[in-house]
């Protein structure tokens, strides 16, 4: 039997639980490897479902995943070249070029010559791009707020509020 395996709805602990406890990056003294894997699997499933549901909210003029990624990169990282954005998103420069062309056509990004190298173009987020990001975030936040208000108690909402920074830290540690 594998350590931490479930047996009839209960965890079946075996010897060695906590063998990795206390190591940086490993399970804490209060948990074992099996429990940590179980938590990871449950979080992955729950967060995947939540993200799928949130993606169903389609504000007018919906952006593709790639377009959103490019806009968010420009919002958070500031002006950048198409090559830098492609590298950050781990896609080909050609794919990023197509994405950026669509964003520019809709006035969501702006291009200007690089003052240090006239051959390069620097891209930045236009006011319309900021507005598109705000609208998309608001639509999804409103959907979450309705679900929280309708389906969760005050205590459950407090637990979710406390978990939010932990989930963000988890995302940054991957």
pLDDT tens digits along 114-158: 999 989 999 999 999 999 999 888 888 898 999 999 999 999 999
Percent of the chain with pLDDT over 70: 80
Q: Are residues 69 and 7 in the same domain?
A: no
Nearest Cα residue to 55 out of 120, 139, 132, 131? 139
Look at residue 54 in the predicted model and tell me its pLDDT.
82
Q: Are residues 71 and 136 in the same domain?
A: yes
Q: Are residues 92 and 166 in the same domain?
A: yes
The whole model's pTM is what?
A: 0.58
CA distances from 25 to 28, 145, 162 (A): 9, 33, 21
Q: Are residues 38 and 81 in the same domain?
A: no
CATH of residue 141: 1.10.10.10
């Amino acid at each position: 039997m594998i350590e931490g395996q479930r047996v009839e709805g209960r965890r079946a602990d075996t010897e060695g639980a906590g063998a990795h406890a206390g190591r940086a990056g490993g399970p804490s003294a209060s948990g074992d490897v099996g429990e940590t894997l179980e938590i990871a699997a449950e979080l992955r499933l729950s967060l995947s479902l939540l993200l799928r549901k949130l993606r169903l909210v389609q504000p007018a003029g919906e952006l593709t995943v790639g377009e959103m990624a490019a806009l968010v990169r420009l919002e958070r990282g500031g002006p950048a070249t198409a090559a830098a954005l492609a590298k950050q998103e781990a896609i080909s420069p050609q794919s990023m070029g197509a994405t950026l062309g669509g964003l520019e056509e809709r006035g969501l990004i702006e291009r200007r010559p690089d003052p240090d190298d006239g051959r390069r173009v620097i891209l930045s987020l236009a006011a319309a791009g900021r507005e598109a990001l705000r609208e998309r975030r608001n639509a999804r936040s409103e959907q979450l707020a309705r679900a929280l208000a309708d389906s969760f108690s005050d205590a459950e909402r407090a637990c979710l509020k406390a978990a939010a920074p932990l989930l963000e830290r988890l995302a940054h540690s991957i």
